Amino acid sequence: MSYSHPLNLKSGQVDLTHGGGGRAMAQLIAELFIKHFDNDLLRRQNDQALFDVPAGRLAISTDGHVISPLFFPGGDIGSLAVHGTVNDVAMSGAKPLYLSAGFILEEGLPLADLERVVISMAAAAKVAGTPIVTGDTKVVERGKGDGVFITTTGVGIVPDGVNISGDRAEAGCSILLSGSIGDHGVAIMASRENLQFETSIVSDSAALHGLVADMVAVAPAAIRCLRDPTRGGLATVLNELAGQSCVGMVIDEAAIPVKAQVKAACEILGLDPLYVANEGKLVCICDAAVAETLLAAMHQHPLGRDAAIIGEVIADPHHFVQMTTAFGGRRIVDWPVGEQLPRIC
């Protein structure tokens, strides 16, 4: 299809016709989404993508992204939409294969901002090796959205011999954390409130499937649970896993990596790093016998250089998560109450 004028990507805006199913929508898809997400499956422009899959169990996950602001230190809603879903699929031990993407656009969104998001998203998908092969676009009236919301769905294949699930933790297992916590949430809050710190704080947003693959390669049967501590942070993930597995957990405050600038920012903002969101970290619960082997493998990967063993799983009928503090006492690490940082991902 030919168009009388190309999209005005410098000063144009999204309008309702871009979601109306007509020529304007076709042009938006062709000159923006297909142009940057370009791959054989997407280029067919069907309402679905058909592809062969290797043998194994299929893993699927979907994630909605409503972050504010759209652009932040270390990323944007586009790259985050890729990383978030790739990571959710990878937490099963799967190799992510393909993504779909649904865009809810607000009337009046600058096309330049939309193109920036799409380019970032395409780059993240290319680096992760997970092409975006199908999608959808809708437009809502001005004031009924907030620029752009993105929903991504990912599929992947779990290798034979891998059985990772949140209900498999047992007393005696070790708890590993892949790196420092709180970077993403603090970066978003600082950007949102125009806060300045002596040392820049950037989001840790990253695709973790490469790190997971390296971990699975050295201990495929000994990894019991994997989870990325996004909304609600480390504390929420540990409570989720304790509840799913009907166990308790004890973590060591001194063993949990937190960057000095993040800790300082949390003190200023009145936040607890345990509850602050991350977008490039994972929690692993594994058999204690392989914990050091897994830790060594994690240290060899760029996204696991600061990994640490932070605690152990214990028998506890109440399924409490406890933390040994820097002063030698213990306190309960409970579920978060309310919303510390809304629209963080």
Q: Is 251 exposed, middle or buried (0-12, 13-18, 19+ CB in 10 A)?
A: buried
Count other Cβ atoms within 10 Å, centred on residue 334: 12
Q: In this structure, which amino acid lies at residue 221? A: A
Q: Closest Cα to residue 147, out of 202, 88, 188, 104?
A: 104
Strands lying side by side in the sheet with 148-158: 57-65, 148-158, 95-106, 132-140
User: Would you say how long the chain is, in residues?
Assistant: 345
Which residue stretches of the chain are H helix?
23-28, 35-37, 40-43, 77-90, 111-128, 183-193, 209-218, 233-245, 260-269, 291-299
Residue 1: predicted pLDDT: 64
- Provide the pLDDT confidence category of residue 2 given band limits of 50, 70 and 90: low
- Provide the pLDDT confidence category of residue 207 given band limits of 50, 70 and 90: very high
- Given a cut of 70, is residue 199 above it in pLDDT? no
Q: How far apart are CA 97 and CA 333, in angstroms?
A: 36
Residue-wise pLDDT for 79-105, tens only, equals 999 999 999 999 999 999 999 999 999
Mean pLDDT of 27-36: 96
Q: How far apart are CA 75 and CA 280, in angstroms?
A: 11
Q: Are the C-beta atoms of 330 and 324 separated by less than 8 Å?
A: yes
State phi, psi for 165 to the nearest 5 degrees. -155, 150
Q: Is the dihedral of CA 66, 72, 78, 83 positive or negative?
A: negative
Q: In this structure, which amino acid lies at residue 256? A: I
* Secondary structure string (H, E, C) spanning 5-54: CCCCCCCCECCHHHHCCCHHHHHHHHHHHHHHHCCHHHHCCCCCCCCCCC
Q: Cα-Cα-Cα-Cα dihedral of 119, 124, 129, 135, to 10°? A: -60
Residue 344: predicted pLDDT: 85
- Given a cut of 80, is residue 197 above it in pLDDT? no
